[in-house]
Structure 1
């Protein structure tokens, strides 16, 4: 850490650049492991299947447990999808695309749209042009004032992910009408339409299955787990990443937050809790983020030991 420490000791206000970090910590890079990501997918598929089996049972406790497990796995799938956006799941780009498309279906996420927006987020974070794919309303907690009712409404909108579902419906409508998407190339627009066709086809298939079985399968194994569990859980995971950080600073230590947490949460968030580290080295294999964290821990400005610690401090103001 000599180079970075020297810059700080000189009192320079210049942020540490990604190039600085890549040069200093290039020894942390390892080859992407296909087996590791395949194992992650296999575990996700097994737990998702178990959740569907439980949700399909008539007993109330089984159905509730199944929907809870399914919702958590939908949220976990979005974190696995994030890995494929950066082509860090498999070494083969097409394999990442296929896996990413499948992983996005449960939460109605277009792989192509998410990837295009997310790459711009990495490029534009620290500037007024920064936009994120998931819209929680007051994304970064800039609007901290207002009455209790207004505050309660703001947090309700965040955790229900209402804006995201409205966004999905608008994008799905454009796909059906075969229209391009604002700000996207014709190729990217075509891929976004492809993803929405697949999602809409899956929704139609589950709806038809529900009609044939005379049982609302689409509700028990998809829509209710999504709305009641996956949406709020996903917001709990992703909202802290830049919330009330200095998002107009181009220094990743200032505009991003890391949450150390425990092994279970690190698995569940797929390492996305090491978010400063991810923004410092976006192409570093996910499994190496804890090693980078150990190197840069003294420099972290926005750091919490767990998600409970973060939200407790947010509530306390």
Structure 2
């Protein structure tokens, strides 16, 4: 397997049926080959399992909220950190609903996705439309992602240290995302359509942005009535100081400095195996090559697919720490 300083060799698995370590026939490297050979990994969507994920996220969010409203900083700071992490985790759960893999019903997926995206100012309908096009267009010049980190994929060109530092500040602060939210919220308040989307999708995007604005206004009003900075401790501080940087940390590596003009998912996407805690936190999105190979595969089956294709991975790291350590050394 080809490796570079951005890659870690994965030891081959033991041979499977047919003599190949993955169960994929020898020489197969395309998405169609993988889907045809490993289609048996697809199982029914398990709504009960997703409901348990939502319940755990809600429980941890509630604990964070209680801590963040305590009078002492020793409780508030951990509360803000926990809330921010849960905001980012909710966005990863939202990703599951985009593909209709949370619940079996389309309406249930949509409303779960709307609520999961609310803390990070993410419109479910806008994210879904953009994300599905991303799956279709990745590897072509038409590819666009919902989350804009500025220099999205880390163009390898000479830059000053000041420029490099500024680029990373923009990426981890997610300034582009918040700026786009303000633009889209303005459109929603004016009743304007969302460019490039159908009338139905535009209407849903407007409604979702209005819901976020209404929630923010309501929490601000409650804060004013009780004479407390609740909106700051329960939303703005967790969002800006924790959720944004954490979200960028786990999502930016997915395609960063991969061959993004190559339509082969093995070339344009990265997998990070990591540990069970991070696999839970990212909701399996760390197995990102696998997700792009089979986008409709239930999230719980991505580790199974990883075991089948791991020796073919070109962009792979055993942990997020290893990815960023390798990136810094470059």
TM-score range, shorter chain: over 0.9
Is 1:194 aligned to 2:207, yes or no? yes
1:204 deviation in Å? 0.7
1:27 deviation in Å? 1.2
Is 1:175 aligned to 2:195, yes or no? no
Partner of 1:260: 273
**Alpha-carbon distance in 1 for matches of 2:143, 2:288:** 16
Partner of 2:302: 289
- Measured on the aligned residues, the alpha-carbon RMSD in Å equals 1.1
Partner of 1:12: none
Relative distance call for 1:293 and 1:108 in structure 2 (3 A) is same
Is 1:273 aligned to 2:286, yes or no? yes
> Does the Cα contact within 8 Å between 2:185 and 2:206 map onto a contact in 1?
yes
Aligned equivalent of 1:6, options 7, 26, 41: 26
**Alpha-carbon distance in 2 for matches of 1:5, 1:245:** 25
Aligned equivalent of 1:25, options 22, 29, 38: 38
**3-state DSSP class of the match of 1:273?**
coil
1:144 deviation in Å? 4.1
> Does the Cα contact within 8 Å between 2:90 and 2:116 map onto a contact in 1?
yes
**Alpha-carbon distance in 1 for matches of 2:191, 2:201:** 13
**Residue-pair matches, total:** 310
Is 1:158 aligned to 2:171, yes or no? yes
1:96-175 pair list within 5 angstroms: 96-175=109-188
**Alpha-carbon distance in 1 for matches of 2:193, 2:159:** 38
Partner of 2:259: 246
Partner of 2:83: 70
**Alpha-carbon distance in 2 for matches of 1:194, 1:238:** 26
> Does the Cα contact within 8 Å between 1:56 and 1:63 map onto a contact in 2?
yes
Is 1:80 aligned to 2:93, yes or no? yes
Is 1:225 aligned to 2:238, yes or no? yes
1:20 deviation in Å? 2.0
1:181 deviation in Å? 1.1
Unaligned runs of 5+ in 2: 1-17
**Alpha-carbon distance in 2 for matches of 1:251, 1:189:** 32
> Does the Cα contact within 8 Å between 2:254 and 2:270 map onto a contact in 1?
yes
1:5 deviation in Å? 4.3
**3-state DSSP class of the match of 1:7?**
coil
> Does the Cα contact within 8 Å between 1:4 and 1:16 map onto a contact in 2?
no
